[in-house]
Amino acid sequence: MVGTRLFCVSGHVKTRALTSCPWASLCDRLFTTTAGGIKDDRKLKAVIPGGSSVPILTADEIDVKMDFDSVAAIGSLLGSGGVVVMNEDTCMVKALLRISKFYAHESCGQCTPCREGTTWLKKTLQRVYDGDARREDLDHLLGIAFNMMGNHDLRACRCRCHARPQLYPEVPARV
């Protein structure tokens, strides 16, 4: 693909920016040069490459070209190009909870999986975040996400499913 694409870089960066970058420029270039690097010179933890509804990338995975095919090849999506950068201090459970709250609130309520599923995920995640989690909660979260995936009409609930596996390393600490 030729030409440029708009990216909105936000989160833990020095200068949040709406920039026009050439297609297939490297993902880490986006926020190291364009946005001035990570805020307070912390280490990078994760990047959402295309808005809150797409699968998240870990710090090891960001050596990727920002075009649809390359991002899809590593299991994420470019979406609307809303790049969110998270530094090492970010609590992924909290981040996911915040996103879940948004989608539970914004679900239009038409289709069952999204209407019921987003609220259920939000409640369960809230419990996990509050330190009241149970051993089986993670499997339930994955199960709910699996059932929502593909059975809905709307994009809103797709995101829930994607963000999930990234949660695994952190949650046991909270259980």
Partner 1 sequence: MPVRSYIQKFRHEFEYHVQAQVLRRGSCCTSASPGMRLRLFIDTMPTVTINQKPIAVPDGTTIIQAAEQLSIEIPRYCYHPGLSVAGSCRMCLVEIEKMPKLQPACNTRVTEGMVVTTNSPKVKEAVSGVLEFLLINHPLDCPVCDQAGECYLQEYYMKFGLYDSRMNENKIKRHKAEPIGPHVILDTERCVCARVVCALSAKSRKATRLAFSTAADSRNPVVARPSTGQQLFRQRGGYLSRWRLDRP
Asked if residue 172 binds partner 1 (CB under 8 A), the reply is no
Q: Which one among 146, 165, 168, 175 touches partner 1, defined by CB under 8 A?
A: 146
3-state secondary structure of 131: coil
Nearest to 48 by CA among 16, 11, 15: 11
Least distance in angstroms from the C-beta of 158 to partner 1: 11
Considering beta carbons, is residue 23 or 120 the nearer one to partner 1?
Answer: 120
CB burial readout 151-167, b (16+ within 10 A) else e: ebebebbbbbbbbbebb
CA 134 to chain centre: 24
What is the per-residue binding string for partner 1 in 114-133, x denoting contact by CB under 8 A? -xxx-xx--xx--x------
Asked if 150 is part of the footprint of partner 1 (rule: CB under 8 A), the reply reads yes
CA gap 84, 47 in Å, rounded:
6
Q: Does 152 bind partner 1 (CB under 8 A)?
A: yes
Nearer to partner 1, 146 or 168 (CB): 146
